[in-house]
């Protein structure tokens, strides 16, 4: 039976996928055991602002999920987890399908925590801080409809 991802719950240390907790940073191999191999892999550049010497991006089109891994870590640690929620903003490196499951932060729906107003037009970001975790939401407004287009989750660099 192929894997599915029905729920993502953001916690103060990481993300629960189908009730399995992944604390940042976590080995890419652990995620692959749960959801399988990515559809696409992109080689990235150093991210000096976040302290990574070289990165790699993995994309799971069927789940609307992508990750960024630190290639310098011995276990190719996942340092960012991205969830695509909209088909309206598409780029080559993003999943081709949106995530269709439930997303929550400590069991509260993300839509209840992110208030979208017209001040965010046309494509800005809003950060939520939850203990050591940053939840970056990308917001879009098209045809007078406001929505969250994607969410990026990572451990705060302090």
Number of domains in the chain: 1
What is the overall mean pLDDT for the chain? 83
- Residue 121 pLDDT more than 60? no
- Residue 41 pLDDT more than 90? yes
Domain that holds residue 91: 7-114
Q: How would you classify the pairing of strands 14-17 and 20-23?
A: antiparallel
* Residue listed under structure tokens 């276990």: 75
Whether 41 is in a domain gets the answer yes
- Residue 49 pLDDT more than 60? yes
The string of pLDDT tens digits covering residues 67-81 is: 999 888 888 899 999
Backbone angles phi, psi at 142, to 5 degrees: -130, 140
The predicted pLDDT at position 55 comes to: 81
The predicted pLDDT at position 97 comes to: 92
The predicted pLDDT at position 146 comes to: 64
Whether 138 is in a domain gets the answer no
C-beta of residue 134 within 8 angstroms of C-beta of residue 153: yes
Average pLDDT in the 108-114 region?
A: 74
C-beta of residue 133 within 8 angstroms of C-beta of residue 22: no
Whether 75 is in a domain gets the answer yes
The predicted pLDDT at position 33 comes to: 94
- Going by pLDDT thresholds of 50, 70 and 90, the confidence category of residue 106 is confident
- Residue 152 pLDDT more than 60? yes
- Residue 27 pLDDT more than 90? yes
The larger pLDDT score, comparing residue 97 to residue 148, is at: 97
Whether 150 is in a domain gets the answer no
Whether 35 is in a domain gets the answer yes
Backbone angles phi, psi at 40, to 5 degrees: -140, 150
The predicted pLDDT at position 90 comes to: 65
Whether 136 is in a domain gets the answer no
Whether 86 is in a domain gets the answer yes
């Amino acid at each position: 039976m192929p894997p599915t991802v029905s729920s993502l719950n953001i916690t103060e240390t990481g993300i629960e996928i189908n009730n399995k907790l992944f604390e940042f940073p976590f080995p890419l191999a652990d995620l692959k055991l749960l959801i399988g191999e990515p559809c696409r892999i992109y080689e990235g550049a150093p991210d000096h602002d976040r302290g990574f010497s070289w990165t790699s991006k993995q994309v799971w089109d069927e789940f609307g999920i992508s990750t960024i891994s630190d290639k310098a870590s011995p276990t190719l640690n996942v340092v960012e987890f991205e969830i695509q929620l909209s088909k309206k903003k598409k780029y080559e490196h993003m999943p081709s399908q949106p995530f269709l499951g439930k997303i929550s932060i400590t069991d509260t729906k993300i839509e209840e925590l992110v208030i979208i107003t017209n001040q965010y037009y046309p494509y800005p970001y809003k950060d939520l801080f939850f203990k050591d975790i940053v939840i970056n939401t990308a917001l879009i407004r098209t045809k007078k409809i406001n929505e969250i287009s994607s969410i990026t989750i990572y451990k705060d660099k302090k």
